[in-house]
Structure 1
Amino acid sequence: MNRRSFLKKALGSFLTIVGLSGGSYYYAREIEPSLLQISNETILNTKIPNEFNHFKIVQFSDTHIGFNYTLEQLQTLVSKINEQNPDLIVFTGDLVDEPHTYNWNEKLVDILGGLDAPHGKYWIYGNHDHGGYGTDIVRNVMDKANFKLLKNEHATISVNNAKITLAGVDDLMLGRPNLDTALNNADSNLFTLLLAHEPDFADTTKHFPIDVQLSGHSHGGQVRFPFIGHLYTPAYAEKYVQGKHILHNEKLHLYVNRGIGTTRLPYRFLCKPELHVFTLTNN
């Protein structure tokens, strides 16, 4: 049985189990999607300047607002993020599930605008942001909320004249990612962190002077089982599904965020929504 056939059969079996088990269905739909896990990670790299020791970066991803994820829930998430006292906030794509049908309003801008980080808020496009003719709409909302888009470009983050590089690429599925353009005129000697929506892009990233890649897109599989793992992940999230991965002789560290919301199916099972809190250090 090939992987495609296995996934179809496994997903069918899961839906059958869910249909037969009211308790499992209730937990997967009503409880686990709200059980936010805050994952704390230390990023150790000798290229990180002393001035950036204990510098805190919060990553959130894949909110998919509108598909069983409400603005009220987003407001709670914003409070959780601000409680972490981040120095920098990054969003790695898929703000709204279906941009062409979503009822856009200023409340979303106000909520996102409430996120606070002294060294800025940055974001990249996900496939759902480009989908449904949402490209310009999503950008307009994020601009109003004071998020800086990194679309095949980079920014220099400074603390007392010490610097690191934060780069971002366009979505791999519906955009045109270009790392050469993103790193144009960037100092390759600086510690460099890349935002890329699809985690499997790391197989391209590893050939560039990137130290860390932060991604989302996979939702961690959204539904997982003991010994089996995830049943399905979208394209370009099939190799690296969740957690930390070390590539290219330990030169590149990839972190895959499980995301906040859900898509396609309104369930999470053994795959809690995730907020990443990264602390930088050089020792």
Structure 2
Amino acid sequence: MKKQLYGSLMGTALAFTGYAYYSTKKLTITHYPVHSAKIPPAFDGKTFIQLSDLHSQRFGRSNHKLIKIVKEERPDAIFLTGDLLDGDEWIDVALALVRKLSKYAPLFYISGNHEQRSAFFEEFLHGLKRAGVYILHNEARFLKEGEDRIAICGVDDPKFHLEEPDEVEDEELYIAFDKYQTEEEILRQEIEKATSEVPADLFTILLSHRPEFWPFYQMQPVDLILSGHAHGGQIRLPFTDGLFAPGQGFFPKTTSGLREENGRQLIVSRGLGNTTMWIPRVFNNPEIVKITLHHN
């Protein structure tokens, strides 16, 4: 009886492990309609693809599965919302993907916290520029359709500008160092710079890697925020937003989906990669986000 029970448990554990691995490679696409009276008539029905948190993962040989899905959607632009890299590993996977995607639509890129860790980030930026990617370094670009246009703003991940003390000598100083507030102030300055030349009546999309600042984004002069970073909460169980997310900790509240409040909309991608500390990605398939604009 004990052997049968042990065998049953082992079989269940192996099946679960196999499914968990399989689900990290099974791409899904989620469609989000975005409605706003500020969207110009010429942009009604325009579609965009958001890719986030690749972490140098591959989906099929040379990422052909990911590229095939994006190509078939025929987007008007592709937004890359950070963490294409995963630290110090070489940059060829991410760059190869970007070069191939650039054949199908304009690409707009912002950094994530993992790029800040990369020793090859400057080489990566150079490769993006050679591929024709628009790197949004606290700045705005404009998409035009006839006489109409919308703004695409992007900000650096605040980790690039956050100066934390290397050594803590004074416990009171350490307690007083409020990382969240410091990052929020960095974001405030970055968004202020990025939107400084954008007219108030223009529909504005903000690419910003961190979704945990959703209450803060609601006070900014933007209409739609696209984020990633949270990885869908890693382990997604029924009636939860996942069990863990970077920047939010256990039982996070903002890890995926479309949210609307105070005249602002936020879309959080569950992302593509599987990296966050030691918690695996389970019941949480890698996600491609498709956005369709509607003038109303």
- Normalised-by-shorter TM-score class: 0.7 to 0.9
Amino acid at match of 2:41: N
Instruction: Give CA deviations for 1:190-220 in whole Å, capped at 9, x if unaligned.
Output: 0111000001222222112211100000010
Number of aligned residue pairs: 259
The residue aligned with 1:243 is: 257
For the residue of structure 2 that corresponds to 1:210, the secondary structure is coil
Structure 2 distance, partners of 1:197, 1:147, is 17
What CA distance in whole angstroms lies between the structure 1 residues aligned with 2:42 and 2:59? 38
Q: Return 264-273 or 179-188, whichever deviates more.
A: 264-273
User: Which sections of structure 2, spanning at least 5 residues, go unmatched?
Assistant: 1-8, 162-185
Does residue 205 (structure 1) correspond to residue 217 (structure 2)? The answer is yes
Q: Deviations over 1:146-182 (max 9, x none)?
A: 2111121111110012010110111033345311101
| Amino acid in structure 2 at the alignment position of 1:169 | V
Q: Flag the 1:224–1:27 CA change in 2: closer, same or farther, 3 A.
A: same
Report if aligned partners of 2:91, 2:124 keep a CA contact under 8 Å in 1.
Answer: no
Give the unaligned 5+ runs of structure 1: 1-16
Summarize the alignment of residues 32-71 of structure 1 with structure 2, pairs less than 5 Å apart: 32-65=23-56, 69=58
Give deviations 1:19-69, integer Å, cap 9, x for gaps: 97111111112x101111111111110111111011111101000015xx4
1:89-132 CA deviation, whole Å, 9 max, x = no partner? 1000001112x2x1344x75343212147762101000001113
| AA in 2 matched with 1:161 | E
1:19 and 1:199 mapped to 2: Cα distance? 38
Letter in 2 for 1:245: R
1:28 maps to what in 2? 20
- CA distance in 2 between partners of 1:81 and 1:229 (Å): 26
Equivalent-residue separation in structure 1 for 2:134 and 2:44 (angstroms): 24
**Alignment match, 1:135:** 121
% identity of equivalent residues: 29
8 Å Cα contact 2:74/2:104 also seen in 1: no
Equivalent in the alignment of 1:12: none
Asked if 1:171 corresponds to 2:157, the answer is yes
2:86–2:118 CA contact under 8 A, matched in 1: no
1:221 alignment counterpart: 233
Partner of 1:103: 90
1:112 to 2:98 alignment: yes
Q: Residue 90 of structure 2 aligns to which amino acid in structure 1?
A: N
Q: Alignment partner of 2:271: what SS?
A: coil
Aligned to 1:126: 112
Larger radius of gyration: 2
Q: CA deviation at 1:257?
A: 0.2
Residues 85 and 216 (structure 1 numbering): CA distance in 2 closer, same or farther, change over 3 Å?
A: same
Q: Helix, strand or coil: the match of 1:174? A: helix
**Aligned residue number for residue 81 of structure 1:** 70
Q: Report the TM-score, using the length of structure 1 for normalisation.
A: 0.83
Task: Report the Cα distance in structure 2 between the residues aligned to 1:56 and 1:94, rounded to whole angstroms.
Answer: 23
- Quick check: 1:90–1:123 contact (8 Å CA) kept in 2? yes
- 8 A Cα contact 2:112 2:157, kept in partner: yes
